[in-house]
Structure 1
Amino acid sequence: MPIVAPITMATPLLLATEGFGIDLDILNDNLVNLAILIPILVWFLKGFLGGILSRRREAILQDLNEAESRFAEATAQFEKAQAELAAARETAQTILRDGQARADAIRAEGEQRTIAEMARLQEEAKADTDSEARRISNELRRSTAEQAIALALQDLPKALPPKKQAKLLAATINSLG
């Protein structure tokens, strides 16, 4: 047993002189560790995270500026398109009114031409009727005159002497002439 006694005496001395050990006093050790670790992390990560956040912030601001400029451009194009649409609608209305007026004018002109053509056809029909009536009247006169002459020529030799017959025949031929 003599060997055990010297080891037990040397153990507390050995523990005190050797490196790290486990300290179960959590409040004391952790607060010191955290008080040292947090400022180091803040100081170290400040530049690293600050740079990342700064670049991200600049990228977001640039994206926002681009979005605002695209929005302004889209708004301007939309307003321009609305103005063009309004102008197109006005032009369409004008074309529609002009087309309607032209259709009315063409319809009225067509009606006038139809009335004029009907009047012309009536005049031509009347002229044709008058012409045909004159032709028929002349034909009837001629036919009547020929029949009268034929009858007169039949009865004339019995009623008139030959000299008077020749004279009457010459006068009739001259009047028909």
Structure 2
Amino acid sequence: MTFLLPSLLASHGGFGFNLNPFETNIINLAIVIAGLWKFLPGFLGSILERRRAAILNDLQDAEQRLLAATSSLAQAQQDLSAAQQKAEQIRADGLARAQSLRLESEKRTIDEMARLKQGAMADLNAEAARVTDQLRREAANRAIAQALATLPGKLNADAQARLIDQSISTLGKA
């Protein structure tokens, strides 16, 4: 490779600077650069200015949307807090109402049980009174039957007269 480079340069006439302005197009390049220097800032400047204005407009729009979203978020958080308080109040009211209903139901149950117990006691007392009355009647009927059965053999005419006199005097005192 080192052999080729010197031979290549030798075949083209060597390496050097060409200072002829017409052959090198230096004048054309100077005109183009001067034109770009003169007109490009206005053209690119207006494009860049429009782009900068669009970006600023987008940033302002984004800031406004951010403020609106922040405001909406704050309002939503307040609404959520209010809803949570309302739900807690409803839950507390529901628990209080359930407790009240339970206590009322228990009281009614106790009252009903007391009423049933009183009714049962009244029925028991009535049945006991009826049985006692029936036993008294049966005891009295047996006593009368036994007395009537033994009385004819024990009472003679004299004893009967005394018994009748004694019953009459007892009735007279009463």
- 1:107-166 per-position Cα deviation (integer Å, ceiling 9, x unaligned): 2222222222222222112111111100111111122222233334434555568xx8xx
Alignment partner of 1:82 is 2:71: no
Alignment partner of 1:99 is 2:97: no
Give the whole-Å Cα distance in 1 for the aligned partners of 2:21 and 2:115.
126
Q: Which runs of 5+ in 1 are unaligned?
A: 1-22, 169-177
Q: Which runs of 5+ in 2 are unaligned?
A: 1-16, 165-174
Find the counterpart in structure 1 of residue 34 from structure 2.
39
**How many positions carry a matched residue from both structures?**
143
Q: 1:53 aligns with which of 24, 42, 48?
A: 48
In structure 2, give the amino acid aligned to 1:55: R
Find the counterpart in structure 2 of residue 70 from structure 1.
65
Alignment partner of 1:118 is 2:113: yes
Q: 2:18 aligns with which of 20, 24, 30?
A: 24
TM-score (norm 1): 0.65
Find the counterpart in structure 1 of residue 123 from structure 2.
128
Distance change (3 Å), C-alpha of 1:26 and 1:115: farther
Between the two proteins, what is the percent identity of the paired residues? Answer: 49
Higher relative contact order (CA 8 A, sep 6+): 1
Give the whole-Å Cα distance in 2 for the aligned partners of 1:91 and 1:119.
41
Q: CA deviation at 1:83?
A: 0.3
Q: CA deviation at 1:47?
A: 3.5
